[in-house]
Each structure stands twice: as structure tokens, then as C-alpha cells.
Amino acid sequence: MSNEELAGRVVALEVISMTALGLYLANAKNDPDGSRTKAIFQALRSAISAHAQTLPPETRSHAIKYGDALLDQVEQNLPALVGHTGIVN
């Protein structure tokens, strides 16, 4: 597989996984204060950091920053998916 094919697959995977996460969180019931949603984001950030520990330092840093950027994007888009603001602070 070429680098271009791999990069294309990563882009598609990002879009599908981040949209699925956003839709899941937007449809979560019984979370009026957003605490469950915040806990899920924190657990995902912790998991990324933990799994990245086996990587070389520069790669680890990139993985954590990239994971944070993706999760930040889902957090920003979540109010639009829910239909109102204030779910995630």
C-alpha cells in the first residue's frame, strides 16, 4: 500500500470514527449536565496517552496532540449535533 493510499484511509477513518463518536454522544440519554460526555472525552484522552507510551518521544507527542485535536473538534461540533449549546463545557 502506498503512502497516498494509507493517508487516504486515515482521513476516511478519522471522519467516520469522529462522526460516530459525535453522534453517539449527541444521542446519549440522561446526561443533562454533560458529565458523562466529559468523562468519555477524558477517558479517550487518557487511553490515547497510555497507548502512546510505547512510542518514541516525538511520535508520542504527535499522537497525543493529534488525539487532542480530533477530540477538540468533536467537542466543538457536538452542540450542532445535539441541536443546542451547553452540553460540553
Tell me how far CA of residue 1 lies from CA of 6, 7, 59, in angstroms.
7, 10, 21
Indicate the DSSP class of residue 56: -
14 vs 7: CA distance, rounded Å: 11
User: In this predicted model, what pLDDT tens digit does every residue of 21-79 receive, in sequence order?
Assistant: 888 887 776 777 888 888 888 999 999 999 899 989 998 998 899 999 989 988 888 87
- What are the residue ranges of helices labelled H in the chain? 3-27, 35-52, 57-82
- Model pTM? 0.74
